[in-house]
Structure 1
Amino acid sequence: MSERNETLRLACIDSDAPPLFLLDDPVHGRRGYEPAVGELLAAELGRTLEWVYLPWNDMIPAVRRGDADGVLCGQGIIPSRLEQADFTRPYAVFHESVLVRRGDPISSPEDLRGRRVAAISGSTNMALLKTFEGAVPVEFGDSDDVFGDMLAALRSGEVDGVVDDDVVFVPLGRHPDFELAFTVRTGNRWGIAVSKSRPETLASLDRALGAVIGDGRLAAVWAEWLPDLEYPFAAGGVI
């Protein structure tokens, strides 16, 4: 059976992390860079888009159960995830940064020695954090708003830093409570996770992603939502 005109169900979290995504709005729907990517892919495939809202740690399991067709939500293509799911080519490439409380004199990994630092469990951010010698990793993930939880922990002093991809910290550049300590140019590739038992779904999403990269539609969405970050793709591939 052809998938055309069927619903494309993509798993994500329903939290506020602009410019990647904003909370689902009853009038405007889900907006941000990743929602815009999802809309491009659905249009290319001729399918209706539906977002499946789940806690962070349940997104890939949901795809493996068949509750969604794919995960389009901050999934770095890393070995631990490749053991659980297959991935499309990347739709984004980001670096990783450390956010601290404003005025805290942290400017390098060495300054985090003995400090409690938050990152999402099982993420590329946590993998990077574990390379910071002497830092104390604090895992987050069992929440519908894991990013908000980490910021709240940083604001309260429960942790002294948060490691995440540079894109999510863009709106916080002038925040009165936080400041960017430093960035590590890790070049993390983000893709759409698909069940290993559904190679046809992987192939169709990958072809659609290749099409919107190749004809410039993805570049236009990037320019709209991520104008302060360097666009990482040439026609058909990563620069």
Structure 2
Amino acid sequence: MTGVLRLACIDSAAPPLFNLSEDGLNRTGYEPEVAALVALELGLRLEWIFTAWDNMIAAVHTGAADAVWCGQGITDERMRQVDFTRPYAIFNETVLVRAGDPARAPEDMVGYRVGAIANSTNMALALTIPGIIPVEFGATTDVFGDMIESLRSGEVDAFIDDDVVTVVLGAEPDFDVAFTARTGNRWGVGLAKSNPSLREDIDRVLDILITDGRLLAVWQKWMPDLPFPLDPRENG
């Protein structure tokens, strides 16, 4: 790096996590604001590299991006591909259906076409629901928007994503929340295994932001109804 922190993510509207970029460069939302604080503490200029969901880790491997900062749950499969920082968020997972759909539990969903992002913790959860037909998403930079429109149009009967973005949609007239699974997925920043120094730098700054309360302040700004899950007394 030469004074720039390049972060890979999709360009999608998934508030309050992140909003669709208005200019292809700048972003708003919880993740972008925390990333901006980290870049500022490191003395680096933040640059977003927009790409498809299934290309984000590859962008880190090829050097097109320095890290993935885009709703990545820390899973064993991903840890084989990249190293993760300490968590900057912890979320549960929610199943969204169309308004009026009676499904309120996994056993209500036999035969349902259930969408989720390919190779995600959400898809892993979908595959535990007996009798569903899994539908993978992820080939575009607006995968979350793709899932919303597919549910609205009837292409799928439900989709799964983290509660931070799906519960908000459940309040809209077109959708209902079926149920939430208390999975407690830990989200981290994914970096190439060949770049341990940057991971250590981001970990150090996240520790500072958690300890001095700035991460809590950003969390409460964007997600005031969700309890802050990170204990400042814990050293990442």
TM interval, short-chain normalised: over 0.9
Would you say 1:180 and 2:189 are equivalent positions?
Answer: no
Determine if the alignment matches structure 1 residue 111 to structure 2 residue 108: yes
Partner of 1:52: 49
- Percent identity, please: 57
Counterpart of 1:224 in structure 2 is: 221
Aligned 8 A contact 1:92 1:190 in 2:
yes
State the match for 2:20 in structure 1.
23
What do the CA deviations read for 1:7-49 (whole angstroms, capped 9, x no partner)? 1111111111100001112399310000011111011111111
* Aligned-residue offset at 1:209: 1.1
Structure 2 counterpart of 1:123? 120
Residues 1:71 and 2:72 are matched in the alignment: no
The amino acid that maps onto 1:139 is E
SS at match of 2:92: strand
Instruction: Please report how far the alpha carbon of residue 130 of structure 1 lies from its aligned counterpart in structure 2 after TM superposition.
Output: 0.5
> Which of these residues, 98, 101, 118, is aligned with residue 101 of structure 1?
98
The answer as to whether partners of 1:87 and 1:192 remain within 8 angstroms in 2 is yes
Partner of 2:154: 157
Q: Secondary structure at the match of 2:41?
A: helix
Q: Which runs of 4+ in 1 moved over 4 A?
A: none
Give the superposition deviation at 1:230. Answer: 1.0
Q: Tell me how far apart the structure 2 counterparts of residues 82 and 27 of structure 1 sit (CA, whole Å).
A: 29
Write the letter of the residue equivalent to 2:113.
R
Give the Cα–Cα distance (whole angstroms) in 2 for the partners of residues 128 and 140 of structure 1.
14
- For 2:175 and 2:234, locate their aligned partners in 1 and report how far apart those are by CA, in whole Å: 35
Contact 1:10–1:72 under 8 Å retained in 2: yes
1:166 corresponds to 2:185: no
The corresponding residue for 2:133 is 136
Letter in 2 for 1:121: A
What is the rounded CA distance, in whole Å, between the counterparts of 1:144 and 1:225 in structure 2?
Answer: 23
CA deviation map 1:95-117 (0-9, x unaligned): 00000000000000011111110
Contact 1:15 1:144 in 2 (8 A): yes
Residue 38 of structure 2 corresponds to 41
* Matched residue count: 235
Which of 75, 78, 91 is residue 81 of structure 1 equivalent to?
A: 78
**Does the 8 Å contact 2:94/2:167 carry over to 1?**
no
The yes-or-no answer on 1:198 pairing with 2:195 is yes
Q: What amino acid is aligned across from residue 112 of structure 2 in structure 1?
A: R
Shifted more, 168-177 versus 62-71: the winner is 168-177
Matches within 5 A, 1:5-24: 6-24=3-21
Which residue of structure 2 lines up, in the alignment, with residue 213 of structure 1? 210
Residue type at the aligned position of 1:232: P
Asked if the contact 2:6–2:66 (Cα under 8 Å) also holds between the matched residues in 1, the reply is yes
Between the aligned partners of 1:154 and 1:11, the Cα distance in structure 2 is: 26
Q: Which moved more, 1:12-21 or 1:28-37?
A: 28-37
5+ long unaligned stretches in structure 2: none
Letter in 2 for 1:29: N
| Residue 233 of structure 1 pairs with residue 230 of structure 2 | yes
Q: 1:89 to 1:236 in 2, by over 3 A?
A: farther
Normalising by structure 1, we get a TM-score of 0.95
Q: What CA distance in whole angstroms lies between the structure 1 residues aligned with 2:234 and 2:164?
A: 20
Match for 1:184: what amino acid?
A: A
SS of aligned partner of 1:103: coil
